[in-house]
Amino acid sequence: MNYAKYETLAFSQEGAVLTVKLNRPEALNAVSEKLHTELSRVFGEIAADRTVDAVVLTGEGRAFSAGGDLEWFRNISGLQLDALFIEARKIIVDLVDLPQPIVAAVNGVAAGLGATLALFCDVVYVADGAKIADPHVRIGVTAGDGGAAIWPLLVGPARAKEYLMTGDAMTAAEAERIGLVNKVLPAAEVLPAAQALAQRLARGSRLAIRSTKLSVNKLVRDAVSLVLDTSLALEKECFSTPFHKQAIEAFANKR
């Protein structure tokens, strides 16, 4: 596969393990229009790459991803908004349907869509200083880009609603305690540990590992099928509300 065409994602491959980095470190890997479009394409391409048997997803610099780039939303047109939500659905569906096991190395803050990307990975390793949050409600929109589907699966509906309705951030230790993530490690160890696990999985039986993932992900896919279209439609509706517009402007002015 020709991964060189991507502008906001960086790639390296060691054996059958492909490491994918969100690559906007100057913006804490916030998801711009370009990165969003590239995320909507990359998992489908990786799925078709027969040289890849395991994937590591991480961020360049000091963050995993700070979520959506709010500057993008300030003057977004109707056509751009339509494209955004078509892409948003494809990102999640392609990530869930990715046949290769994928390990998240959460090297720093993971917020909003950043948290969603990490939590939809098969195994999530987190740096001890990282924070995880889904603060969609704080800018007046539904936690619709996957959070409403994956958080209840991982921590149960009550805890999921507490964090999704408040937008509060949690520490890595708290995320591990409640079962949101697999393991917390010192920051310097997160990516090597994720890559070591990916190498181990890549050396295993391709059929057995992929079919096990597929079997377990029937649960995840069912949740996505039940929740995602509704939550995305509700989120899109929120973009026209005064609360959202005022929150975006307040954020821009603060910056």
Name the CA dihedral angle for 101, 211, 216, 104, rounded to a multiple of 10 degrees.
0
- The pLDDT tens digits for 106-156 are 999 999 999 999 999 999 999 999 999 999 999 999 999 999 999 999 999
Helices 147-155 and 157-166, interaxial angle, to 10°? 140
Distance separating alpha carbons of residues 141 and 81, to the nearest angstrom: 14
Q: What is the pLDDT of residue 113?
A: 97
Q: Where are the domains of the chain?
A: 3-203
Name the CA dihedral angle for 202, 208, 210, 212, rounded to a multiple of 10 degrees.
-130
Rg (CA), the chain: 17
Distance separating alpha carbons of residues 90 and 55, to the nearest angstrom: 18
Give mean pLDDT, residues 186-212: 98
- The pLDDT tens digits for 223-254 are 999 999 999 999 999 999 999 999 999 987 87
Q: What is the pLDDT of residue 233?
A: 97
Give mean pLDDT, residues 62-84: 93
pTM of the model: 0.96
Mean residue pLDDT of the chain comes to 97
Per-residue pLDDT at 255 exceeds 70:
no
Assigned CATH class of 3-203 = alpha beta
| Residues 184 and 146 sit within 8 Å (Cβ to Cβ) | no
